[in-house]
Amino acid sequence: MKVSGFTFVRNVVKYDYPVVESIRSILPVVDECIVTVGRCDDGTLELIRSIGDPKIKIVESVWDETLRKDGLIYAQQTNIVLSHCTGDWAFYIQADEVVHEDDLPIIQEAMRRHLGNPAVKGRLFRYLHFIADYWSTNPWFYHKAVRIIRNNGEVESCGDAVGFHLKATQQYLQSGPKEWIAPRLRSFRRWAARRNRWLNLQSYREVLPRGFRG
């Protein structure tokens, strides 16, 4: 089994995204991690290079500003980076998301278990959305999203890159037959109400209820 991590970034230094922690949170369970870096001058490219992990492969891109409406540019960039993935599974993570290390063995085992079952198109993750600090969560943001997909060319990012659909029918994975989606896990996201700087992500371990599985 081969697993590709994938994400896209642009101006993450300027907007203070925890992208290094984000990428590192999935590195233990991927064989490669493809990162598209949009053209910018805030040091984002240098930051990604500084992670220094041989699994990381950087693809530079230029954003099509005409696709900004409704966030379509995010799906386009997601699909660009997805096209470079070579794994059986593709593990998507956005620059303000982190996967808890306690869940990594569960994620890895699930990918192995479902590898031979083509009916399973992806894996659903449950979210905790942190606002401003790691003690405050927002229960009104979306509660779940697909973050692992079978990388066979049938699935692509859609809308504003929150989810995925089948290329052939445009059917959203979460609205399809239940066997398309493996049981959900947890993921963590801090939204755009950012203060001056990101808190140390170690805080996650201090504030999350133990045993939470969504």
The predicted-structure confidence for 56-73, as pLDDT tens digits, reads as follows: 999 999 988 887 777 788
Domain of residue 60, CATH code: 3.90.550.10
Whether 128 is in a domain gets the answer yes
- The answer to whether position 90 is within a domain reads yes
pLDDT value at 5 more than 80: yes
The pLDDT value given to residue 124: 87
- Residue with token string 């053209």: 39
Answer whether 41's CB lies under 8 Å from 62's CB. no
* Banded model confidence at residue 94, pLDDT cuts 50, 70, 90: very high
Over residues 149-177, the pLDDT tens digits come to: 999 999 999 988 889 999 999 998 988 88
Residue 191 confidence (pLDDT) above 60: no
Give the pLDDT band of residue 130 (cuts 50, 70, 90).
confident
pLDDT of 78 > 90? The answer is yes
Q: Is residue 78 part of a domain?
A: yes
Tell me, yes or no, whether 212 lies in a domain. Answer: no
Select the more confidently predicted residue: 114 or 133.
Answer: 114
Q: How far apart are CA 186 and CA 173, in angstroms?
A: 18
As given in the structure block, the two tokens for residue 110 are 């699930």
Cα separation, 11 vs 40, whole angstroms = 6
Strand order in the sheet with 97-98: 56-61, 32-38, 3-9, 89-92, 144-150, 122-130, 181-190, 97-98
**pLDDT surpasses 60 at 187:** no
Q: Is the pLDDT of residue 30 over 60?
A: yes
* Residue 23 near residue 56 (C-beta atoms within 8 A): yes
Asked, for residue 201, whether it belongs to a domain, the answer is yes
Q: Which domain holds residue 155?
A: 3-207
* Domains contained in the chain, number: 1
Distance CA(68)–CA(74), nearest Å, equals 8
Contacts 24+ apart (CB under 8 A), 171-180: 173/121, 173/122, 173/146, 173/149, 174/124, 174/144, 174/146, 176/121, 177/119, 179/119, 179/120, 180/119, 180/120, 180/121, 180/122
Structure tokens at 126: 């449950």
Q: What is the mean pLDDT of the chain?
A: 83
Q: What is the model's pLDDT at position 196?
A: 33
- Specify if 8 maps to a domain: yes
pLDDT for 186 equals 54
- Could you give the percent of the chain with pLDDT greater than 90? 55
- State the pLDDT at residue 184: 56
Q: Residue 93 above 60 pLDDT? A: yes
**Residue 120 lies inside a defined structural domain of this protein:** yes
Read off the pLDDT band of 20 (50, 70, 90). very high
Domain assignment present for residue 214? The answer is no
